[in-house]
Amino acid sequence: MTTAIETKALTKDYGTGRGIFDLDLTVQEGEVFGYLGPNGAGKTTTIKLLMGLIHATKGSATLLGLDADRDAVALKHKIGYVPGELPQFGGWRGSEVVAYIAGLRGDLTDGEVEAVAKRLDLDLGRKYREYSHGNKQKLALLLAFAPRPDVLILDEPTTGLDPLHQQEFYGLVRDARARGTTILISSHVLSEVEHVCDRVGIVREGHLATVGQLDQLAGMRAHRIDIVFAGPPPIERIKAIPGFEQVAIQDHRVSGMFRGEFEPLLAALASSRVTKFESREPSLEEIFLGFYK
Amino acid sequence: MREGGRPTTVGRTYERARPAKRVQVTLLRLAVRSHRTGLLMTALALTIGGLLNSIGFAQIAGDNPAARALFAQQMELLGRQLTYLLPAPAQLDTMAGYLVWRWFGSAALIYAFWALLAGTGAGRGDEERGLIELWLSAGVSRTRLMAVRVAGFAAVAAVSIAVMLIGTAIGAAIGQEPLPLGPLALQGIAIWALTLVAFGFALVVAQLVTTRRSATGIAGVVVLGLFMLNAAARSGVDVGAVRWLSPFYLYERSTPLLRGGSLDAAATAALAVTALVLVVLGVRAFVARDLGGTLFRGAPAKTTVEWRPARDPLLRLPVLAIVDQQRVWIVAWALGLALLAAFLTSITKTMVDALGSSDVPVLRAYFERAGINAYADFVGVIWFSTLLLLISLFVVAQVNGWAADDNEGRLETILSAPVSRGRVVVERIAAVLIACTAVVAVSSLAVYLTATSTGISLPGGRFVFASAAVLPVAYAFAGIGHALAGWRPRVAVDALGTLAVVGYFAQQFTPLFQWPDWVSNISLYALYGTPMSKDDWGGIATLVAIGVAGTAVAIVAMARRDVGR
Which pLDDT belongs to residue B153? 95
Find, among A46, A284, A104, the residue nearest to B424 by Cα: A104
pLDDT for residue B233 is more than 60: yes
CB count within 10 Å of CB A278 equals 11
* Pairwise pLDDT comparison (B77 vs B259), residue with the higher score: B259
Contact B477, B504 (CB under 8 A): no
For residue B151, tell me if it sits in a domain: yes
> What does the DSSP 8-state code read for residue A78?
T
Chain B contact set for A66 (CB, 8 A): none
Residue B110 lies inside a defined structural domain of this protein: yes
Nearest to B419 among A51, A73, A88 (CB): A73
Q: What is the pLDDT of residues B411-425, one digit of tens each?
A: 999 999 999 999 999
Q: Are residues B241 and B340 in the same domain?
A: no
- Show which of B297, B329, B346 is a domain's final residue: B297
Q: Tell me: do B356 and B495 sit in the same domain.
A: yes
Does B72 lie in the same domain as B148? yes
| Chain B residues 503-562 within an 8 A CB cutoff of chain A | 560, 562
CA distance B461 to B469: 12
Q: Which of B242, B402, B226 is nearest to B325 (CA)?
A: B402
Residues of B within 8 A of A54 (CB-CB) are 562-564
Verify that B457 and B534 share a domain, yes or no. yes
In a domain, B357, yes or no: yes
CA dist B189 and B316 (Å) reads 53
pLDDT at B3: 37
The whole-number average pLDDT for the span B211-216 is 84
Same domain membership, residue B354 and residue B281:
no
What's the average model confidence in pLDDT over B471-482? Answer: 96
B1 pLDDT higher than 70: no
DSSP symbols for B48-70: HHHHHHHHHHHHHS-SSHHHHHH
Instruction: With a cut of 90, say whether residue B241 has pLDDT above it.
Output: no
Give how far B565 is from chain A: nearest CA, Å.
8
Domains (range + CATH), chain A:
3-216 (3.40.50.300), 222-291 (3.30.70.100)
Q: Do the domain assignments include residue B55? A: yes
- Please tell me if residue B293 touches chain A, with a CB cutoff of 8 Å: no
CA distance linking residue B26 with residue B34, whole number of Å: 12
Per DSSP, what are the bridge partners of residue A244? A258
B372-to-B73, B377, B443, B469 alpha-carbon distances in Å = 20, 5, 21, 19
B310 to A81: CB separation less than 8 angstroms, yes or no:
no
Q: For position A271, what pLDDT does the model report?
A: 85
- Contact (Cβ atoms closer than 8 angstroms) between residue A157 and residue A184: no
Are B111 and B191 within 8 A, CB to CB?
A: yes
- The minimal CB distance from A101 to the residues B417, B420, B565 is found for B417
Residues 411-450 of B with CB under 8 A from A: 412-420
Report the range of poorest mean pLDDT among B7-16, B109-118, B139-148. B7-16
Residue A84 to residue B375: CA distance in whole angstroms: 60
User: In which domain, by residue range, is B71 found?
Assistant: 1-297
Of A51, A91, A117, the CB nearest to B307: A117
What's the whole-number mean pLDDT along residues B14-34? Answer: 70
Domain annotation covers residue B267:
yes
Interface contact flag, B325 A92, Cβ < 8 Å? yes
Q: Are A148 and A171 in contact (CB under 8 A)?
A: no
> What pLDDT score was predicted for residue B94?
92
Chain B nearest C-alpha distance from A287 (Å): 29
Contact A96 B409 (CB under 8 A): no
Do the Cβ atoms of B564 and A54 come within 8 Å?
Answer: yes
- Counting the structural domains of chain B, the total is 2
Yes or no, beta carbons of A55 and B562 under 8 Å apart: yes
- Among residues B377, B373, B375, B363, the alpha carbon closest in space to that of B530 is found at B377
Q: Is B563 on the interface with A (CB under 8 A)?
A: yes
B266 and B334 part of one domain: no
Residue B317 near chain A (CB below 8 Å): yes
As a whole number of Å, the end-to-end CA separation of chain A is 36
Same domain, B222 and B327: no
- pLDDT exceeds cutoff 70 at B410: yes
pLDDT at A285: 55
Residues A50, A55, A61, A66, CA torsion sign: positive
pLDDT-derived band at B2, boundaries 50, 70, 90 = very low
B267 and B333 share one domain? no
Which stretches of chain A score pLDDT less than 50? 293
pLDDT tops 90 at residue B21: no
Cα(B511)–Cα(B365) distance, integer angstroms:
8
- pLDDT, position B172: 94
For range B97-115, the mean pLDDT:
91
Alpha carbons within 13 angstroms on the beta-carbon side of residue A227 total 26
Q: Is residue B129 part of a domain?
A: yes
Residues B255 and B349 in one domain: no
| Band of pLDDT at residue B75, cut at 50, 70 and 90 | confident
pLDDT, mean over chain B: 86
Question: CA–CA separation, B340 vs B379, rounded Å?
Answer: 12
**Lowest mean per-residue pLDDT among B206-220, B327-341, B512-526, B535-549:** B512-526
pLDDT band (50, 70, 90) for residue B8: very low
Has residue B221 got a pLDDT over 90? no
Does one domain contain both B291 and B332? no
DSSP assigned state of B509: H
As beta bridge partners, residue A60 has A8
Decide: B202 and B85 in contact? Cβ < 8 Å: no
- Do B356 and B448 share a domain, yes or no? yes
* Residue A240, number of CB atoms within 10 A of its CB: 11
B269 CB-near residues (< 8 Å, 6+ apart): none
Q: Taken in order B105, B109, B111, B115, is the CA torsion positive or negative?
A: positive
Residue B176 located in a structural domain:
yes
Predicted pLDDT of residue B369:
58
The answer to whether residues B352 and B278 belong to one domain is no
Residue B428 amino acid letter: R
Cα separation of B384 and B472, whole Å?
A: 13
Is residue B312 included in any domain, yes or no?
Answer: no
Q: Which of B487, A209, A49, A36 is nearest to A58 (CA)?
A: A49
Q: Flag whether pLDDT at B298 surpasses 80.
A: no
DSSP secondary structure, B382-448, as one string: IIHHHHHHHHHHHHHHHHHHHHHHHHTTHHHHHHTSS--HHHHHHHHHHHHHHHHHHHHHHHHHHHH
Query: Residue B71: its pLDDT value, please?
Result: 83
pLDDT at residue B14 in the model: 45
- Whether the pLDDT of residue B361 is over 60: the answer is no
Q: Are A196 and A170 in contact (CB under 8 A)?
A: yes
Band (pLDDT 50/70/90 cuts) for residue B12 is very low
pLDDT single digits (tens) A128-180:
988 999 999 999 999 999 999 999 999 999 998 998 999 999 999 999 999 99
